[in-house]
Amino acid sequence: MELFKKILIANRGEIAVRVIRACRELGIKTAVVYADVEKDALHVRLADEAICIGPSNPSQSYLNIPAIISAADIADAEAIHPGYGFLSENPHFAEACATSGITFIGPTAETIRMGGDKAKARQMMKRKGVPVVPGSDGPVNSEDAVIKIAKKIGFPVLLKASAGGGGRGMRVVREEQELSQAFMMAQREALAAFGNGDLYVEKYLPSIRHVEVQVMADGKGNVVHLGERDCTVQRRHQKLIEESPSPIATASFRKRIGEYAVKAAKAFKYRNAGTIEFIVDDDQNIYFMEINTRIQVEHPVTEEITGVDLIKEQIRVAAGLPLSFRQNQIKPSGHVIEVRVNAEDPERFVPCPGKLQVFNLPGGPGVRVDTCAYAGWTVPPYYDSMIAKLIVHAPTRDEAIARMKRALHEFTIEGIKTTIPFFLRIFNHPDFIKGAFNTAFVERVMNAERQPEKKNGNGS
Ligand code: MV4
């Protein structure tokens, strides 16, 4: 079976550039779409063809399904790569591609739909023997049902929106008196935000890490996991640093989490690159959270540690080829750390778009930069503020941290503020160096710096 002659890339920024690179190496022509304000974007310059599909507002361009399908028709592309964000997890888009005879480079619309229904996904995982946090079996449709569960598992509990995800639409309930109001508000908010008011309940775990597993599946029964990524360093559900192996991972932990991930992917009849997201408590208990049915921002961490090109593999399996590797051929080596360089004020994490007067990349051994930025480019205010990912690879975690600090020092950006100074503080922090942190780490560090007289500024 042969690969595609031409792929349309329905995205922008560094991920569009990343997909162009994979296509060029595979001998596949590329067409990209762009918003009128992005004529000078790198993805437009690097692609074989570029089609303007609308104005800056994403709903009229990068989220505009008819415009993208038309662009694929005009370009005569056989397949669409959706990247991440935008339409990448939209089952209607996957169906629209199928209807137009275009291959969607991703899982089936049905898998996307199942993954998007967090209450159902949780229920299915429980049934298949993948551990979930104690809580409801599927959605809960009344306050009384929540009370019954909370009495069994104990307070605090967490109300989560079934159509939410990534931390959106969650509410902690600390005691029974809070429940009635919390339930109604959470339901109303979920309905307004996602058009679906379904909620489910979990025991609230106060101290956790976020550890996810990359999987790759060909839809012919082959499912391989490519190790974990620890994404615990985040702020307000925005990941800031990702690394592999997880600093907490022992050999038995890695075996366990990998097996859970493969079991989960098989239950979803998975095809494509995917991520199984878990939370891990202080006793190393692993709980399934969500499945992400797209390529993720942090995929280079796994590419560097395994040597597998995940974008090429996505394209191959979408073309109907079997996976090009088996589980026993995946041999993770060394330690990889990625940071997301955002055009943001590092004190307050607010977007800081503008013109890049200077943009000098780090290099040398073990350094990779995935970016859409260049000197003279203006970061547009309409999209995500991430302008580059800096990924370092070294034999050990300590060496990876030293290499990251070296690379951050080399990285010179002038004209806008970026998160680089923030990262230098983190990589010098004793708790980061020890690997001893949970999801509250960033807030704790920022509070401690704001109130230096307080020794324990954890905000609680
Ligand atoms: C939780 C939790 C504590 N207990 N579930 C937030 C994102 C979503 N995927 C799951 N999230 C959480 N679920 C229970 N039962 C705490 C979080 C959470 C979190 C999870 C991963 C990474 C960062 C986080 C930050 C705050 C809360």
How much is the pLDDT for 128?
97
167 CA from centroid of ligand 1 (Å): 6
Position 15 scores a pLDDT of 98
pTM above 0.85, yes or no: yes
35 neighbors 327 (Cβ within 8 angstroms): no
Q: Do 407 and 267 share a structural domain?
A: yes
CATH number of the domain within which 417 lies: 3.30.470.20
- CA 344–ligand 1 middle distance (angstroms): 24
Ligand 1 probe mutation, 125, 173, 210, most atoms within 8 A of CB: 210
Test site for ligand 1: of 89, 126, 204, 208, most ligand atoms within 8 A of the Cβ: 208
454 domain-assigned? no
Distance from the alpha carbon of residue 232 to the mean position of ligand 1, in angstroms: 10
3-state SS, residue 406: helix
Q: Whole-angstrom Cα distance, residue 349 to residue 439? A: 17
**Within a domain: 111:** no
Same structural domain, 379 and 255: yes
Domain boundary among 185, 203, 221: 203
Closest residue by Cα to atom 14, ligand 1, is 204
- Residue located nearest, by CA, to atom 26 of ligand 1: 439
- The catalytically annotated residue of 113, 254, 294, 403 is 294
- Considering the domain architecture, whether residues 305 and 439 belong to the same structural domain is answered as yes
In total, how many domains does the chain have? Answer: 3
Both structure tokens of 78? 């056989």
Same domain? 146 vs 218: no
247 CA to middle of ligand 1, Å? 19
Residue 69, domain member (yes or no): yes
294 in catalytic set: yes
Q: Which long-range contacts (CB under 8 A, 24 or more apart) does 122-128 make?
A: 122/200, 122/288, 124/267, 124/268, 125/264, 125/267, 125/288, 128/263, 128/264, 128/267
Which residue CA neighbors atom 5 of ligand 1 most closely? 204
pLDDT of residue 351: 95
Distance 290 CA to ligand 1 centre (A): 10
The residue out of 144, 173, 203 marking a domain boundary is 203
Q: Tell me if 275 sits within 8 A of 296, measured CB to CB.
A: yes
Geometric angle at alpha carbon 245, from 242 and 247, rounded to 5°: 85
265 with 409, same domain?
yes
Q: Which residue's CA is the closest to the ligand 1 atom numbered 13?
A: 167
Q: How is residue 117 annotated by DSSP? A: -
Angle at 165 between CA 155 and CA 275, to 5 degrees: 115
Task: Please indicate, yes or no, whether residues 223 and 186 belong to a single structural domain of this protein.
Answer: no
- Per-residue pLDDT tens, the chain, 460 aa: give them: 689 999 999 999 999 999 999 999 999 999 999 999 999 999 999 999 999 999 999 999 999 999 999 999 999 999 999 999 999 999 999 999 999 999 999 999 999 999 999 999 999 999 999 999 999 999 998 999 999 999 999 999 999 999 988 777 799 999 999 999 999 999 999 999 999 999 999 999 999 999 999 999 999 999 999 999 999 999 999 999 999 999 999 999 999 999 999 999 999 999 999 999 999 999 999 999 999 999 999 999 999 999 999 999 999 999 999 999 999 999 999 999 999 999 999 999 999 999 999 999 999 999 999 999 999 999 999 999 999 999 999 999 999 999 999 999 999 999 999 999 999 999 999 999 999 999 999 999 999 988 765 545 444 3
Q: Is there a single domain that holds both residue 150 and residue 259?
A: no
Q: Has residue 274 been placed in a domain?
A: yes
Residues 383 and 283 in one domain: yes
To 10 degrees, the CA torsion angle through 447, 448, 449, 451?
Answer: 80
Q: Do 161 and 227 sit in the same domain of this protein?
A: no
Give pLDDT, residue 450.
82
| pLDDT score, position 363 | 98
CA of 153 to the centre of ligand 1 (A): 18
| In a shared domain, residues 252 and 179 | no
- CA-nearest residue, atom 9 of ligand 1: 166
**Domain annotation covers residue 416:** yes
Q: What is the pLDDT of residue 451?
A: 78
Residue 205 alpha carbon, nearest atom of ligand 1: 4
Q: Specify whether 265 is located in the same domain as 324.
A: yes
| Domain region containing 185 | 134-203
Assigned domain for 221 exists: yes
**Tens digits of per-residue pLDDT, 72-111?**
999 999 999 999 999 999 999 999 999 999 999 999 999 9
The reply to whether 395 and 428 lie within a common domain is yes
Position 1 scores a pLDDT of 61
Q: Tell me, yes or no, whether 327 lies in a domain.
A: yes
Query: Mutate which of 200, 276, 439, 441 to test ligand 1's pocket (most atoms within 8 Å of Cβ)?
Result: 439
pLDDT of 74 reads: 98
- Are residues 330 and 213 in contact, defined by beta-carbon separation less than 8 angstroms? no
Q: What separation in Å is there between the alpha carbon of 160 and the centre of ligand 1?
A: 10
Q: Find the residues whose C-beta lies inside 6 A of ligand 1.
A: 133, 158, 166-167, 202-205, 208, 210, 234, 237, 277, 279, 289-290, 439
Where is the domain boundary, 174, 203, 232? 203
CATH number for the domain that contains residue 63:
3.40.50.20
What pLDDT sits at residue 460? 38
Taking the CA of residue 203 as reference, the ligand 1 atom at the shortest distance is 15
Closest residue CA from atom 3 of ligand 1:
205
Residue 122: inside a domain: no
Written as six digits, the tokens of 255 are: 């075996």
Q: What is the CATH number of the domain that holds 150?
A: 3.30.1490.20
